Amino acid sequence: MAKLFEPITLGNLTLANRIVIAPMCQYSAEDGRMTDWHAMHLGNLAQSGAGILTIEATAVSAEGRISYADVGLWNDETEQAMAKVLDSVRRWSDMPIAIQLAHAGRKASTAKPWDGGGQIAPDAENGWQTVSASNLPFLPDENAPEALDKAGLDRIREAFADAARRAARLGIDAVQIHGAHGYLLHQFLSPLSNKREDEYGGSLENRMRFPLEVYDAVRAAFPADRPVTMRVSGTDWAEGGWDIEQTIAFAKALEARGCAAYHVSSGGLDAGQKIPVGPNYQVPLARKVKEAVSMPVIAVGLITEPEQAEAIVATGEADMIGLARTVLYDPRWPWHAAAALGATVKAAPQFLRCQPRVYKDLFVQA
Protein backbone atom coordinates (compact mmCIF):
# COMPACT_ATOMS: atom_id res chain seq x y z
CA MET A 1 0.00 0.00 0.00
CA ALA A 2 1.10 3.55 -0.67
CA LYS A 3 2.38 5.09 2.56
CA LEU A 4 0.26 8.19 1.89
CA PHE A 5 -2.86 6.07 2.26
CA GLU A 6 -1.87 4.21 5.41
CA PRO A 7 -3.87 5.13 8.55
CA ILE A 8 -2.26 7.26 11.25
CA THR A 9 -3.32 7.96 14.83
CA LEU A 10 -3.19 11.35 16.58
CA GLY A 11 -3.88 10.77 20.24
CA ASN A 12 -7.09 8.71 20.18
CA LEU A 13 -8.09 9.87 16.69
CA THR A 14 -7.30 7.53 13.79
CA LEU A 15 -7.23 9.02 10.29
CA ALA A 16 -7.83 6.89 7.21
CA ASN A 17 -4.81 8.38 5.40
CA ARG A 18 -2.01 10.95 5.71
CA ILE A 19 -3.68 13.74 3.70
CA VAL A 20 -4.61 16.81 5.77
CA ILE A 21 -6.78 19.54 4.31
CA ALA A 22 -5.12 22.60 5.81
CA PRO A 23 -7.02 25.70 7.01
CA MET A 24 -7.87 28.16 4.25
CA CYS A 25 -9.48 31.53 5.00
CA GLN A 26 -12.55 32.25 2.90
CA TYR A 27 -13.26 35.86 4.00
CA SER A 28 -16.96 35.13 3.77
CA ALA A 29 -18.24 35.39 7.35
CA GLU A 30 -20.60 38.01 8.76
CA ASP A 31 -19.55 39.36 12.17
CA GLY A 32 -17.63 36.13 12.70
CA ARG A 33 -20.59 33.94 11.75
CA MET A 34 -20.22 31.24 9.11
CA THR A 35 -22.52 31.58 6.10
CA ASP A 36 -23.91 29.34 3.36
CA TRP A 37 -20.58 29.76 1.58
CA HIS A 38 -18.91 27.74 4.34
CA ALA A 39 -21.51 24.98 4.11
CA MET A 40 -20.83 24.72 0.39
CA HIS A 41 -17.04 25.01 0.72
CA LEU A 42 -16.59 22.60 3.64
CA GLY A 43 -19.23 20.22 2.32
CA ASN A 44 -17.31 19.98 -0.94
CA LEU A 45 -13.98 19.29 0.79
CA ALA A 46 -15.62 16.77 3.12
CA GLN A 47 -16.24 14.62 0.02
CA SER A 48 -12.57 14.74 -1.03
CA GLY A 49 -11.38 11.50 0.58
CA ALA A 50 -8.74 13.25 2.72
CA GLY A 51 -7.88 11.98 6.20
CA ILE A 52 -9.07 15.12 8.00
CA LEU A 53 -10.58 18.50 7.15
CA THR A 54 -9.43 21.61 9.05
CA ILE A 55 -11.74 24.61 9.40
CA GLU A 56 -10.07 27.88 8.44
CA ALA A 57 -8.32 30.17 10.94
CA THR A 58 -11.08 30.86 13.45
CA ALA A 59 -10.65 33.96 15.57
CA VAL A 60 -11.02 33.56 19.32
CA SER A 61 -12.10 37.20 19.64
CA ALA A 62 -13.38 39.91 17.31
CA GLU A 63 -10.07 41.78 17.50
CA GLY A 64 -8.25 38.56 16.57
CA ARG A 65 -9.71 38.32 13.06
CA ILE A 66 -7.36 38.90 10.13
CA SER A 67 -10.15 40.65 8.26
CA TYR A 68 -13.64 41.79 9.20
CA ALA A 69 -14.96 38.86 7.13
CA ASP A 70 -13.15 36.12 9.06
CA VAL A 71 -14.83 33.23 10.87
CA GLY A 72 -14.90 33.43 14.67
CA LEU A 73 -15.88 31.34 17.64
CA TRP A 74 -16.18 33.79 20.52
CA ASN A 75 -19.90 33.99 21.38
CA ASP A 76 -23.15 32.08 21.12
CA GLU A 77 -23.98 33.59 17.72
CA THR A 78 -20.74 32.44 16.09
CA GLU A 79 -21.08 29.04 17.74
CA GLN A 80 -24.65 28.60 16.49
CA ALA A 81 -23.70 29.59 12.95
CA MET A 82 -20.87 27.06 12.93
CA ALA A 83 -23.18 24.40 14.37
CA LYS A 84 -25.58 24.90 11.46
CA VAL A 85 -22.78 24.44 8.92
CA LEU A 86 -21.32 21.42 10.69
CA ASP A 87 -24.72 19.75 10.92
CA SER A 88 -25.07 20.09 7.16
CA VAL A 89 -21.57 18.76 6.43
CA ARG A 90 -21.86 15.84 8.85
CA ARG A 91 -25.17 14.75 7.41
CA TRP A 92 -23.26 13.58 4.33
CA SER A 93 -19.70 12.90 5.52
CA ASP A 94 -18.02 11.17 8.44
CA MET A 95 -14.62 12.75 7.73
CA PRO A 96 -12.98 13.96 10.98
CA ILE A 97 -13.11 17.74 11.32
CA ALA A 98 -10.48 19.88 13.05
CA ILE A 99 -10.51 23.61 13.70
CA GLN A 100 -7.64 26.09 13.72
CA LEU A 101 -7.99 28.57 16.59
CA ALA A 102 -6.22 31.83 15.91
CA HIS A 103 -5.53 35.44 16.83
CA ALA A 104 -4.03 37.68 14.16
CA GLY A 105 -2.40 40.19 16.52
CA ARG A 106 -0.82 43.07 14.59
CA LYS A 107 -1.85 41.53 11.25
CA ALA A 108 -5.54 42.02 12.05
CA SER A 109 -8.00 44.68 10.85
CA THR A 110 -7.47 44.17 7.12
CA ALA A 111 -9.52 44.32 3.96
CA LYS A 112 -10.43 41.15 2.06
CA PRO A 113 -7.57 39.99 -0.21
CA TRP A 114 -9.56 40.69 -3.38
CA ASP A 115 -10.09 44.25 -2.07
CA GLY A 116 -6.36 44.76 -1.63
CA GLY A 117 -5.87 43.16 1.76
CA GLY A 118 -4.32 46.24 3.34
CA GLN A 119 -4.70 47.27 6.96
CA ILE A 120 -7.86 49.22 7.80
CA ALA A 121 -7.31 52.10 10.22
CA PRO A 122 -8.93 51.79 13.66
CA ASP A 123 -11.26 54.73 13.05
CA ALA A 124 -12.34 53.56 9.58
CA GLU A 125 -15.29 51.34 8.73
CA ASN A 126 -14.52 47.66 9.42
CA GLY A 127 -11.31 48.57 11.26
CA TRP A 128 -10.13 48.28 14.86
CA GLN A 129 -7.08 48.76 17.07
CA THR A 130 -4.70 45.82 16.85
CA VAL A 131 -2.63 44.28 19.64
CA SER A 132 0.68 42.41 19.73
CA ALA A 133 3.63 41.36 21.86
CA SER A 134 5.18 44.80 21.28
CA ASN A 135 4.04 48.05 19.67
CA LEU A 136 5.79 47.35 16.36
CA PRO A 137 3.65 47.45 13.19
CA PHE A 138 4.02 44.79 10.48
CA LEU A 139 4.68 47.52 7.88
CA PRO A 140 6.20 50.91 8.78
CA ASP A 141 3.22 52.88 7.45
CA GLU A 142 0.61 50.87 9.36
CA ASN A 143 -1.10 51.82 12.59
CA ALA A 144 1.02 50.41 15.42
CA PRO A 145 -0.47 47.69 17.62
CA GLU A 146 -0.87 48.11 21.34
CA ALA A 147 1.55 46.00 23.38
CA LEU A 148 -0.49 43.58 25.49
CA ASP A 149 -0.37 44.03 29.24
CA LYS A 150 -0.98 41.26 31.77
CA ALA A 151 -4.75 41.78 31.67
CA GLY A 152 -4.67 41.58 27.88
CA LEU A 153 -2.67 38.36 27.96
CA ASP A 154 -5.12 36.89 30.45
CA ARG A 155 -8.05 37.90 28.26
CA ILE A 156 -6.61 36.32 25.11
CA ARG A 157 -5.50 33.15 26.90
CA GLU A 158 -9.04 32.69 28.23
CA ALA A 159 -10.48 33.48 24.79
CA PHE A 160 -8.51 30.56 23.34
CA ALA A 161 -9.76 28.31 26.13
CA ASP A 162 -13.36 29.47 25.66
CA ALA A 163 -13.17 28.82 21.91
CA ALA A 164 -11.81 25.34 22.64
CA ARG A 165 -14.78 24.66 24.92
CA ARG A 166 -17.16 25.81 22.19
CA ALA A 167 -15.35 23.59 19.68
CA ALA A 168 -15.80 20.66 22.04
CA ARG A 169 -19.55 21.34 22.30
CA LEU A 170 -19.70 21.38 18.50
CA GLY A 171 -18.22 17.89 18.42
CA ILE A 172 -15.06 18.99 16.60
CA ASP A 173 -12.53 16.16 16.55
CA ALA A 174 -9.26 18.10 16.97
CA VAL A 175 -7.92 21.60 17.60
CA GLN A 176 -4.95 23.18 15.88
CA ILE A 177 -3.51 26.29 17.53
CA HIS A 178 -2.19 28.83 15.02
CA GLY A 179 1.36 29.78 15.94
CA ALA A 180 2.58 30.54 12.42
CA HIS A 181 2.49 33.05 9.55
CA GLY A 182 3.23 36.14 11.60
CA TYR A 183 0.05 36.06 13.69
CA LEU A 184 -0.12 36.75 17.41
CA LEU A 185 1.55 33.67 18.90
CA HIS A 186 4.28 33.86 16.25
CA GLN A 187 4.69 37.55 17.18
CA PHE A 188 5.57 36.42 20.70
CA LEU A 189 7.96 33.71 19.46
CA SER A 190 10.04 35.81 17.07
CA PRO A 191 12.70 38.22 18.38
CA LEU A 192 11.93 40.46 15.39
CA SER A 193 8.43 41.26 16.70
CA ASN A 194 8.86 40.63 20.43
CA LYS A 195 10.87 43.37 22.14
CA ARG A 196 9.29 42.93 25.58
CA GLU A 197 11.38 43.33 28.70
CA ASP A 198 9.17 41.28 31.02
CA GLU A 199 8.97 37.51 31.47
CA TYR A 200 7.36 37.18 28.01
CA GLY A 201 10.29 38.66 26.07
CA GLY A 202 14.02 38.36 25.60
CA SER A 203 15.23 34.78 25.97
CA LEU A 204 13.81 31.90 23.96
CA GLU A 205 12.26 30.51 27.14
CA ASN A 206 10.49 33.81 27.75
CA ARG A 207 9.32 34.23 24.13
CA MET A 208 7.84 30.72 24.19
CA ARG A 209 6.06 31.35 27.48
CA PHE A 210 2.79 32.87 26.25
CA PRO A 211 2.29 30.44 23.32
CA LEU A 212 2.89 27.56 25.73
CA GLU A 213 0.42 29.06 28.21
CA VAL A 214 -2.14 29.25 25.41
CA TYR A 215 -1.47 25.61 24.51
CA ASP A 216 -1.91 24.60 28.17
CA ALA A 217 -5.18 26.56 28.42
CA VAL A 218 -6.58 24.99 25.24
CA ARG A 219 -5.44 21.52 26.26
CA ALA A 220 -7.16 21.90 29.64
CA ALA A 221 -10.37 23.18 28.02
CA PHE A 222 -10.64 20.59 25.22
CA PRO A 223 -11.61 16.97 26.03
CA ALA A 224 -8.57 14.90 26.98
CA ASP A 225 -9.44 12.17 24.48
CA ARG A 226 -9.31 14.59 21.51
CA PRO A 227 -6.00 15.85 20.07
CA VAL A 228 -4.61 19.37 20.27
CA THR A 229 -1.92 20.28 17.73
CA MET A 230 0.15 23.36 16.86
CA ARG A 231 1.03 25.04 13.57
CA VAL A 232 4.32 26.95 13.46
CA SER A 233 6.52 28.77 10.99
CA GLY A 234 9.80 26.88 10.89
CA THR A 235 11.68 30.06 10.01
CA ASP A 236 11.02 33.75 9.46
CA TRP A 237 13.29 33.69 6.38
CA ALA A 238 14.79 36.88 7.84
CA GLU A 239 18.11 37.58 9.53
CA GLY A 240 17.93 37.56 13.33
CA GLY A 241 14.45 36.06 13.34
CA TRP A 242 12.80 32.83 14.40
CA ASP A 243 14.64 29.84 12.96
CA ILE A 244 14.60 26.05 12.78
CA GLU A 245 16.64 25.56 15.96
CA GLN A 246 14.10 27.57 17.96
CA THR A 247 11.29 25.73 16.16
CA ILE A 248 12.74 22.43 17.38
CA ALA A 249 13.04 23.74 20.95
CA PHE A 250 9.40 24.81 20.82
CA ALA A 251 8.42 21.40 19.42
CA LYS A 252 10.16 19.61 22.29
CA ALA A 253 8.40 21.82 24.85
CA LEU A 254 5.04 21.09 23.24
CA GLU A 255 5.71 17.37 22.96
CA ALA A 256 6.46 17.29 26.69
CA ARG A 257 2.99 18.76 27.23
CA GLY A 258 1.28 16.08 25.11
CA CYS A 259 0.93 17.94 21.81
CA ALA A 260 -0.53 15.48 19.29
CA ALA A 261 1.09 16.81 16.09
CA TYR A 262 3.23 19.68 14.80
CA HIS A 263 2.39 21.36 11.49
CA VAL A 264 5.50 23.04 10.03
CA SER A 265 4.98 25.96 7.65
CA SER A 266 7.16 29.09 7.39
CA GLY A 267 7.32 32.86 6.98
CA GLY A 268 4.70 35.54 7.34
CA LEU A 269 6.22 37.56 10.18
CA ASP A 270 8.60 39.98 8.51
CA ALA A 271 7.90 42.03 5.38
CA GLY A 272 11.57 41.66 4.40
CA GLN A 273 11.42 37.87 4.27
CA LYS A 274 13.25 36.18 1.41
CA ILE A 275 11.50 32.87 0.72
CA PRO A 276 13.00 30.39 -1.77
CA VAL A 277 9.60 29.31 -3.07
CA GLY A 278 9.46 26.06 -5.04
CA PRO A 279 8.10 22.53 -4.77
CA ASN A 280 8.85 21.04 -1.32
CA TYR A 281 10.51 24.28 -0.17
CA GLN A 282 9.26 23.83 3.42
CA VAL A 283 9.70 20.06 3.64
CA PRO A 284 13.33 20.26 4.91
CA LEU A 285 12.02 22.22 7.91
CA ALA A 286 9.53 19.45 8.70
CA ARG A 287 12.25 16.83 8.28
CA LYS A 288 14.54 18.55 10.81
CA VAL A 289 11.73 18.71 13.34
CA LYS A 290 10.81 15.07 12.73
CA GLU A 291 14.40 14.05 13.44
CA ALA A 292 14.15 15.72 16.86
CA VAL A 293 10.72 14.64 18.15
CA SER A 294 8.50 11.56 18.12
CA MET A 295 5.11 13.25 17.68
CA PRO A 296 3.70 13.25 14.13
CA VAL A 297 4.92 16.08 11.89
CA ILE A 298 2.93 17.58 9.01
CA ALA A 299 4.67 19.10 5.98
CA VAL A 300 3.03 21.68 3.75
CA GLY A 301 3.84 24.03 0.87
CA LEU A 302 3.66 23.55 -2.91
CA ILE A 303 2.90 19.85 -2.61
CA THR A 304 0.93 19.27 -5.78
CA GLU A 305 1.72 15.83 -7.22
CA PRO A 306 0.76 12.41 -5.81
CA GLU A 307 4.25 10.96 -6.27
CA GLN A 308 5.73 14.01 -4.57
CA ALA A 309 3.44 13.58 -1.55
CA GLU A 310 4.13 9.85 -1.40
CA ALA A 311 7.89 10.45 -1.44
CA ILE A 312 7.65 12.86 1.51
CA VAL A 313 5.91 10.36 3.79
CA ALA A 314 7.52 7.19 2.40
CA THR A 315 11.06 8.50 3.00
CA GLY A 316 10.17 9.72 6.49
CA GLU A 317 10.55 13.44 5.87
CA ALA A 318 7.14 13.95 7.47
CA ASP A 319 4.26 11.81 8.73
CA MET A 320 1.52 13.66 6.87
CA ILE A 321 1.16 16.26 4.13
CA GLY A 322 -1.05 19.32 4.24
CA LEU A 323 -2.90 20.63 1.19
CA ALA A 324 -4.36 24.12 0.87
CA ARG A 325 -4.27 25.86 -2.52
CA THR A 326 -3.75 22.48 -4.18
CA VAL A 327 -7.06 21.16 -2.90
CA LEU A 328 -8.89 24.42 -3.64
CA TYR A 329 -7.78 23.96 -7.24
CA ASP A 330 -8.62 20.25 -7.27
CA PRO A 331 -11.08 19.28 -4.50
CA ARG A 332 -10.82 15.61 -5.55
CA TRP A 333 -7.01 15.54 -5.29
CA PRO A 334 -7.05 12.59 -2.83
CA TRP A 335 -9.10 10.56 -5.35
CA HIS A 336 -6.60 11.30 -8.09
CA ALA A 337 -3.66 10.56 -5.79
CA ALA A 338 -5.17 7.21 -4.81
CA ALA A 339 -5.65 6.35 -8.48
CA ALA A 340 -2.06 7.31 -9.32
CA LEU A 341 -0.59 5.37 -6.38
CA GLY A 342 -2.76 2.25 -6.66
CA ALA A 343 -4.57 2.93 -3.39
CA THR A 344 -8.24 3.08 -2.38
CA VAL A 345 -10.21 6.03 -1.06
CA LYS A 346 -13.64 6.52 0.50
CA ALA A 347 -16.33 8.00 -1.71
CA ALA A 348 -19.98 8.77 -1.05
CA PRO A 349 -22.41 6.33 -2.68
CA GLN A 350 -23.70 9.16 -4.86
CA PHE A 351 -20.28 9.26 -6.53
CA LEU A 352 -19.51 5.56 -6.92
CA ARG A 353 -20.61 5.36 -10.56
CA CYS A 354 -18.00 7.94 -11.59
CA GLN A 355 -15.15 5.55 -10.76
CA PRO A 356 -13.03 5.31 -13.94
CA ARG A 357 -13.13 1.89 -15.58
CA VAL A 358 -9.33 1.62 -15.45
CA TYR A 359 -9.37 1.96 -11.63
CA LYS A 360 -11.78 -0.82 -10.73
CA ASP A 361 -10.88 -0.89 -7.01
CA LEU A 362 -10.38 2.84 -6.40
CA PHE A 363 -13.48 3.60 -4.33
CA VAL A 364 -14.59 2.22 -0.98
CA GLN A 365 -18.14 3.25 -0.13
CA ALA A 366 -18.27 5.79 2.66
Which residues participate in catalysis according to the annotation? 183
Alpha-carbon gap, residue 168 to 164, rounded angstroms: 6
